[in-house]
Structure 1
């Protein structure tokens, strides 16, 4: 590794010094002002049977976290990559369509019985539509079976807490069993949600947590899900501390960065059979 500073007078001597070393690579460290000298030095070193690299000193940290890629006719340093490739998004979408159709067919008895129980238990509509932020932070309307006596949304929304008096008797059962989420299979089918992904939070909560957690909005780089990696690890329910939210975001980002179809299948299976999913359901 050599510096480009004062390179020209030393170039031929450097070539002579490097010949007996049997080096495979030579790295030239160069500041922005030394670029012409670095290129001249690289030209001199081309006499050797080695790979010659030039590294801008001020960009070492940037290079360390990037990947060199081809963008059109340019060579670029890609710092961030869209989490799912176009092919992976297509695979995930096919899985979502197949799974949501199968789920809706299997859930037909619940779609008959649950509305009757809701109507017998309390006044109000069967379904609850609430605004959430979806893919790319776009607003979507998320469907749920109504489990409360109120229909709050937006800035007026206050999340349910343990022993919340707003939750109806039927609603308490629906929330503990996660059956209140069943209508979101329609969200998955139409394409504004996925079967697996970060759970969508109320819009007012998003703004609050985004100010406290720098990477919070990375969760919206994929579609929100009915279930997710955070939920099957017990991170659901009331968010009464910042640490709980950080842990939830960490699990969501781990899912995004490590997505695979098998990972989705694993999360679905854990959702159906793991006790952790129901630990903080109320």
Structure 2
């Protein structure tokens, strides 16, 4: 209950304070390349329920049909505005709306697409999907340079599935077991430090 109240207050204040920046970023994205301002994608949420995550679009509008679901290195699908948005994690800001809607939390395991969740063991599904997915989490901090790591792999998809995903799930499980409002606040500040 305290975590949900914290999420609502922080997400609401965040959207209110950041409104001018959100408008500027939306106009920049629209000017920079054709397509919608927001990118919506189905992810798996709490208790395995599907939901649509929202991000500022950082890739060409045809990106989902011309490339993989993972981003690898200097992906040619990324737009000019998208490079800065991704570098500063500004593309994630619309997820504050997802937090208000109750499909996400400020802190929690990052939500995956259904094809990767299908690879979870029953134990991993039960544990990791027992909480709302988050905008940030310990795994996001550890794998901040994930696309660069995948760019060095001979087979990026295989590297993600066999190496990175299991580590992320281990970290997510550890987070869920010890999660508290105090640890969440610490992770939020750690994320802000990494960004700035």
User: Shared fold by TM > 0.5?
Assistant: yes
State the secondary structure of the residue aligned to 2:146. coil
TM (norm. structure 1) is 0.61
- 2:7 alignment partner in structure 1: 96
Q: Which one of 26, 37, 44 corresponds to residue 126 of structure 1? A: 37
Cα displacement (A) at 1:205: 2.2
After TM superposition, what 4+ stretches of structure 1 lie above 4 angstroms from structure 2? Answer: 151-154
Q: Which has the larger radius of gyration?
A: 1
Mapping 1:62-77, distance limit 5 Å: none
Q: Is the 8 A contact 1:157 1:204 kept in 2?
A: no
- 2:153 alignment partner in structure 1: none
Deviations 1:64-88 (A, max 9, x none): xxxxxxxxxxxxxxxxxxxxxxxxx
Cα displacement (A) at 1:122: 0.4
1-structure distance, mates of 2:64, 2:44: 13
Gaps of 5+ in 2: 151-155
1-structure distance, mates of 2:29, 2:192: 23
Matched, 1:158 2:66: no
Cα displacement (A) at 1:214: 5.8
Give the structure with the larger helix fraction.
2
State the secondary structure of the residue aligned to 1:128. strand
Give the structure with the larger strand fraction.
1
- 2:58 alignment partner in structure 1: 147
2-structure distance, mates of 1:258, 1:267: 13
Matched, 1:224 2:144: no
Evaluate the alpha carbon distance shift between residue 236 and residue 202 of structure 1 in structure 2; reply closer, same or farther with a 3 A threshold: farther
Matched, 1:249 2:169: yes
2-structure distance, mates of 1:235, 1:162: 12
Matched, 1:269 2:189: yes
Cα displacement (A) at 1:157: 5.5
Aligned residues: 183
Q: Which one of 223, 234, 237 corresponds to residue 146 of structure 2? A: 237
1-structure distance, mates of 2:106, 2:86: 18
Evaluate the alpha carbon distance shift between residue 152 and residue 163 of structure 1 in structure 2; reply closer, same or farther with a 3 A threshold: closer
Cα displacement (A) at 1:106: 2.1
